[in-house]
Structure 1
Amino acid sequence: MNQDDSSRKRLPEARRQARVLTSGVFGMRGDAELCQIVELAAAATRFPYAAVSIVDRSRLWLAVAYGFDPREFTRPDSFCDAAIQVPGFAPLCVPDAWCEPRFKFAPAVIEMDVRAYYAAPLVTSDGFALGTLCVLDQKPRTIDVTALALLTRLATDATAVIDREQNAVAHAQYAIAELATRIRFAISDEDDEMVTLLDEELRQLEAKLKPEWESKAQ
């Protein structure tokens, strides 16, 4: 892969990661509305496990989960990392992970004995996949077209809950600190493209927060 190809893949992923930060989702662990959505997803598909999974730089973590305790997984080889990369943001359907070599070492397979996995990506209005709404089972499973369509609609509902502006405002301090840290690392690495990208994201977040800061100063 030449440098141009690497940059074309690296920069959009960095912007997606920044969008995860600025969405405010990191402050939504255990959110009641998201809990209702995963419970509905599990009930509608009759799967024992469901979760809202957020894909960060090197890990994926569960904002809420149904049927098991929320946890973190490594990102490489994971179902959810594959799910956010499906062309056209189509659902990822894995009836039996044991029959798919690419998921042989998926963290959920190793740690939870997961066999079946179905997910719809959490796609923001500006086109970034933050993670997934997924359902899982420890035995091979299929779901019908109606259930898959419902999972997709529920993923849209979950994204709408996450992407509310008040969430970004409420949890902006963490996002600003993390973006500033990543900018310092990019400067140290003399990565001008990354510095420009992250600085742009930071300025956009600060512009969104300016009315909030001004109201508090009055």
Structure 2
Amino acid sequence: MISTATPINENFRLEALKSLDILDTQSEKEFDDITALANFLCDTEVALISLVDNDRQWFKSKDGLSIKTCETPRENSLCSYAILEPKKPLIIRDTRKDERFNANEIYLEDKPVIFYAGIPLIDKDGFALGTLCVMDKKPRELSKKQLESLQALARQVIILFELNKKNKDLEKIQAKLKKKNEALREFAKVISHDLKMPLANIVTTTDLLKLVLGDKLDEESLEYFEYIKSSSFSMSNYISDVLAHYESENLINKKPERFHLNQLLKEIVELLSIKPDFTIHFPENNPEVECNKLALKQIFFNLIGNSIKYNDKEQIVISIETTQDDKFNYFRITDNGMGIPTNKLDSIFDLFTTADTIDRSGNKGNGIGLSTVKKIVESLGGSITVTSKEKEYTTFDFSIKKYY
């Protein structure tokens, strides 16, 4: 055999091969199915997905060989010869009668390679990475249909290579994002600690100055003091919301509990210090649910809180309903508040996106609460949607996957 079978674009070809990050990986059923099918269609003894590396050919999949054989030297490789002309298959009816290969008998394990058919595996840039090949210990011919089938399977191999590469790239991106997210979470903790204390001092100092100065302050000065105080509270709430967004992941790993929903809702109402101008309709029959209780509490705390904040009616009315099936718990919360503009419905769950609406106290939202709700809901295997009509109502429907 000619041992110096090297494509003219060898350096670029090897770079393309290594970029797939597939050499020396574990066997995979998707590839093994292809070699098994190639053997069956061509009625041969051995089928390989062979990748031609710098000094070896490595088998991503093999059918008809022992589990131990994963590679052979490139200098004894028919596949390294097949990639010299990527645009056409290499078909050798009898290697013993081919002057390119008859100098020495060719063996793979203990099997003589007499018949060989190799289809070059061509990537999107035209580089031949290796072959999908079939072999036999006796002279053979392939029909036109068999050859076409082998070429079709080779194209599927390339598709699988590309999918594997995309999946690995996504895994790397996810790992980087996870690392950045952890850094942001730590940053949020630092911000919460380092900024909230000075803000608390500003509020305290403001009240102290008002007390000390007493009658010396005119109405305009008092308004400035109130502005400083309210701004400090707004900033403190903003920081708390940022921290809650990044801490929400800690809720997801809590064990599921079985509890009565209405009891949980009443606890939230007490935490929110609801005023007399508020009416809430709990689900009938006080249904029992099983899920992550702390996570569900955080979801309802945000949604009920928003229903109160963004409500311009004299009497706030909120209704909560729930149903379930074999896989999910379903929840609905409806209020009679300000509603959400139609052009904001598609983006209302995006981080730092607001409906540009001033709340009941004259403040503007920070766009963190609903993104946190969506993050928690999706982490619990569910989804959330919103429907709304300005000046009339807003309804949030969300689901949480059951635990079994």
Question: TM-score scaled to structure 1, two decimals?
Answer: 0.71
Which of 68, 89, 92 is residue 90 of structure 2 equivalent to?
92
**Distance 1:92-1:143 versus aligned 2 partners, 3 A rule:** same
Match of 1:102 among 100, 105, 118: 100
CA distance in 2, matches of 1:128, 1:31: 23
- Which amino acid counterpart does residue 111 of structure 2 have in structure 1? M
Match for residue 18 of structure 1?
Answer: 15
SS in 2 for 1:125: coil
Q: Which amino acid aligns with 2:96?
A: W
Report the count of equivalent residues: 170
For residues 107 and 157 of structure 2, what CA distance do their matches in structure 1 show? 22
Amino acid at match of 2:122: V
What is the Cα deviation at residue 108 of structure 1?
Answer: 3.5
SS of alignment partner, residue 141 of structure 1:
coil
In structure 2, what is the equivalent of residue 61 of structure 1? 58
Q: Give 1:110 deviation, angstroms.
A: 8.5
Paired position in structure 1 for 2:38:
41
Deviation at 1:89, TM superposition (A): 2.0
Which shifted more, 161-170 or 118-127? Answer: 161-170
Residue 71 of structure 1: how far off its partner (Å):
2.7
Question: Who is 2:113 aligned against?
Answer: 114
> Do the aligned partners of residues 36 and 149 (structure 1) sit closer, same or farther apart at CA in structure 2, a change above 3 Å counting?
same
- Deviation of residue 28 (structure 1)? 3.6
Give yes or no for the alignment of 1:32 onto 2:20: no
Change (3 A) 1:142 1:134: same
Contact 2:121–2:132 at 8 Å: present in 1 too? yes
Matching residue's letter, 1:141: R
Identity of aligned residues (%): 28
Unaligned runs of 5+ in 2: 1-6, 182-404
Cα distance in 2 for partners of 1:119, 1:41 equals: 11
Alpha-carbon distance in 1 for matches of 2:100, 2:152: 27
When residues 27 and 109 of structure 1 are mapped into structure 2, their CA distance, relative to the original with a 3 A threshold, is closer
Which has the larger Rg?
A: 2
CA–CA distance in structure 2, aligned partners of residues 143 and 163 of structure 1: 28
Residue 137 of structure 1 deviates from its aligned partner by 0.2
> Which position in structure 2 is the counterpart of 1:214?
176
What residue number does 1:127 align with?
Answer: 126
Segments of 5+ residues of structure 1 without an aligned counterpart are: 1-7, 172-208
Work out which structure has the larger RCO, using CA pairs closer than 8 Å and 6 or more positions apart in sequence. Answer: 1
* CA RMSD in angstroms, aligned pairs only: 2.3
Aligned AA (1:146) = K
Any conservation in 2 of the 1:23–1:168 contact (CA below 8 Å)?
no
**Greater helix fraction, Structure 1 or Structure 2:** 1
Alpha carbons of structure 1 residues 65 and 109: separation in structure 2 relative to 1, 3 Å: closer
The amino acid of 1:215's aligned partner reads L
Normalised to the residue count of structure 2, the TM-score between the two structures is: 0.39
Q: Distance in 2 between matches of 1:166 and 1:71?
A: 24
> Is the partner of 2:121 in helix, strand or coil?
strand
Counterpart code for 2:176:
E
Work out the CA distance in 2 between the residues paired with 1:127 and 1:50: 23
